[in-house]
Amino acid sequence: MSLLSRTKSDIVFDWVNNIILTIILLLVLYPLYFVAIASISDPVLVSGGEVWFVPRKVTFEGYGRVFNDPNIISGYKNSLVYAISGTSINLAMTLTAAYALSRKNLIGRNVISFFLAFTMFFSGGMIPTFLIVNNLGMVNKIWAMIIPNAVGVWNIIIARTFLQTSIPRELYESATIDGCSHTKFFTSIVLPLSKALIAILILFYGVGHWNSFFNALIYLRDTKLFPLQLVLRGILIQNQMELSMVKDQDLLAERQNIAEIIKYSLIIIASLPLLVLYPFLQKYFVKGVMIGSLKG
């Protein structure tokens, strides 16, 4: 009897569980799916609420107009430059600092760790930080997009934990007997053994740079330097459309519809680099999150 009721209860549970999870899946997926189909459907039908499940009257006009807009192209280029150069500096600084802190024989290790960690809990705030960047002459320069975020303390801690747990001590000890310097050991042994760590750091830093909007908002004035996110904000949120995108000969009503389809196409294009990286990096997610949760 008890065996029977148990299986019965579990069967009901499995059914309900499957239904709940499927609803969650659809709730997360549908908005993304809708943006994708709306970006290639006739804008009149999209705005009229007639596109729901499949694209209708397929057109690539939205994409065409997006690719013809000089601001978006320059924003895209700027964002790529900021993300690639920023992430490179992030990686170099994070990995070297984390390696040094992972060496137990480093004198002053605790003091330096505290010196870094303290900044995670207390900061000078927006205005004093802005004044420093301003005093250094970085405002409205590409440097303002890279140097003020040159390294993240949290990521140093993640990297240090990873190196401590995944590079065996004996490896370093035997290397030093052979007269191997730290630099040599770091470049020829630590780095090749840290592919997972490097992938995680590229993911965290790269996504951070690509999606960053705040630094550009406060440090940049010149539209030529604007990263994609700031251009996107103008179009998606403040509803500013350039004349080059919405042509004069378009009728007013049509113009509004075209403005809508441009937004959908833009969302897809803006998320493209992440969509491309996503499958490659997905297997490292769990590792990245888990290292971060370890203490010490």
Partner 1 sequence: MNLSSKKSAISYLSHNYELYLFLLPTIIYIIIFHYVPMYGVQIAFRNFIATKGISGSEWVGFAHFQRFFNSYYFGELIRNTLTLSITSLAAGFPVPIIFALLLNQLTNIRYKKIIQTVTYAPYFISTVVIVGMIIIFLSPRTGLVNHLIRFFGGEAVFFMSKPEWFRPLYILSNIWQNTGWGAIIYIASLSKIDPTLHEAAIMDGATKIDRIIHIDIPGIIPTVVIILILNLGSVMSVGFEKVYLMQNSLNSQTSEIISTYVYKTGMLGAQFSFSAAVGLFNSVINFILLAIVNKIAQKMSDVSLW
167 binds partner 1 (CB under 8 A): no
Complex with partner 1: residue 14 or 165, whichever CB lies closer: 14
Which residue from 151, 40, 29 is spatially nearest to 100, judged by alpha carbons?
151
Considering only residues 182 to 211 of the shown chain, the ones binding partner 1 according to CB under 8 A are: 182-183, 186, 207, 210-211
Q: What would the x/- binding string for partner 1 be over residues 58 to 77, using CB under 8 A?
A: --------------------
Using CB under 8 A, pick the residue from 130, 196, 198, 242 that binds partner 1: 130
Which residue from 209, 199, 201, 208 is spatially nearest to 82, judged by alpha carbons?
209
Q: Which two tokens stand for residue 239?
A: 């509803």
CB of 70 to partner 1, least distance (A): 19
Q: Which two tokens stand for residue 10?
A: 């579990």
What single-letter amino acid sits at 164?
A: Q
296 binds partner 1 (CB under 8 A): no
Those residues whose C-beta lies under 8 Å from the C-beta of residue 242, and which sit 6 or more positions away, are: 69, 70, 71
Considering only residues 10 to 39 of the shown chain, the ones binding partner 1 according to CB under 8 A are: 10, 13-14, 17-18, 20-21, 24-25, 27-29, 31-32, 34-35
CB of 10 to partner 1, least distance (A): 5
What single-letter amino acid sits at 156?
A: I
Considering only residues 210 to 249 of the shown chain, the ones binding partner 1 according to CB under 8 A are: 210-211, 213-214, 218, 229, 232-233, 236-237
Q: How many Å apart are CA 115 and CA 109, to the nearest integer? A: 10
Secondary element (H or E) of residue 163: helix 153-166
